[in-house]
Amino acid sequence: MTRKMHAFRRGLVAVLLLLCARAASAEVMTWKVERDTREAIVFAPAAFPAGGRAPLVLSFHGRGDDIQNFQHTDLHLAWPDAIVVYFQGLETRDRLAGWQVERGENNDRDLKLVDAALASLRKMYSIDDDRIYATGFSNGAMFTYLLWAERPHVFAAYAPVAGRLRPSVQPKQPRPLFHIAGERDPQVTFPDQKAAMTIAIAVNGVRDKTTRCGDGCTLYGSGSPAPVMTWIHPGGHSYPRGTSQRIAAFFHDHRRTR
């Protein structure tokens, strides 16, 4: 890479950081949930529209990751008008930070975290209760699916990336869902992810309506209040470039239906 290109990249990063500083403010928040102190990085818009309420996105990292790293998925930059919360997982049996993926696991500590955080965030910010969303990568995507099964009336839409459904997790309430999967994923195999998509399509009742929405992208149930969008890329267990922008666009288009 040439010196000019290096200089250009440094300048671009500086501009993006400046825009970030203008668009949103970040703070670390903590909650005491039973015996655990839970933590998240919260990005809030620099300004709310007069009398308006902001959408809220809850984001969950993969197993072994942390919020200092996962915030660089830049969902808060992809949707600067939203409040975006990057949650920190706790150690699991393998000593890696992660999330429960079934009801009752770890005494439901992560479901309780979401309940506590939502109550707290509603007191701090003007939140649009019809525009609350959940997304996550890998283990965080599996927790996102669990939130669909266990908290279907809270969230307007879900976006799991490289995740699957455990057999005990059975969503029943139709909700918009956007699943991103890699065909060569060695950790969460594509057949397992495909099975999760098939269940989502069945739950939402959109099996017979399909529309192409770009390279590798399929929309099931165009015009339905609970569509399923899938983006299947040729890579592996990854969070591909453009993922946050796609998730933000999908969330932006869907509000909670009563």
Indicate whether 258 belongs to any domain.
no
Q: In the chain, how many domains are there?
A: 1
Answer yes or no: is 167 within a domain. Answer: yes
Residue 18 within a domain: no
- pLDDT at site 133: 98
Q: State the pLDDT at residue 6.
A: 41
Q: Which of 87, 151, 134 is nearest to 250 (CA)?
A: 134
Domain containing 156 equals: 25-252
Q: Is residue 73 part of a domain?
A: yes
Which 8-state DSSP code applies to residue 54? E
Residues in the chain predicted with pLDDT less than 50, given as ranges, are 1-22
Q: Structure tokens of 180?
A: 């991103």
pLDDT at 50: 64
**pTM for this one?**
0.90
CATH code at position 240: 3.40.50.1820
In angstroms, the CA 21 to CA 249 distance is 22
pLDDT of the residue at 210 = 93
Residue 5 lies in a domain: no
DSSP annotation string for 230-244: EEEESSSSS--TTHH
- Tell me what pLDDT residue 12 has: 41
Q: Note whether residue 20 is domain-resident.
A: no
CA distance 152 to 167: 18
Q: Over the stretch 49-69, which tens digit does the pLDDT of each residue have?
A: 666 899 999 999 999 999 999
- Nearest Cα to 218, choosing from 229, 206, 227? 229
Whether the Cβ atoms of residue 244 and residue 78 lie closer than 8 Å to each other:
yes
| Secondary structure element (H or E) that encloses residue 160, with its range | strand 157-161
pLDDT of residue 92: 84
Tell me whether residue 10 is in a domain: no
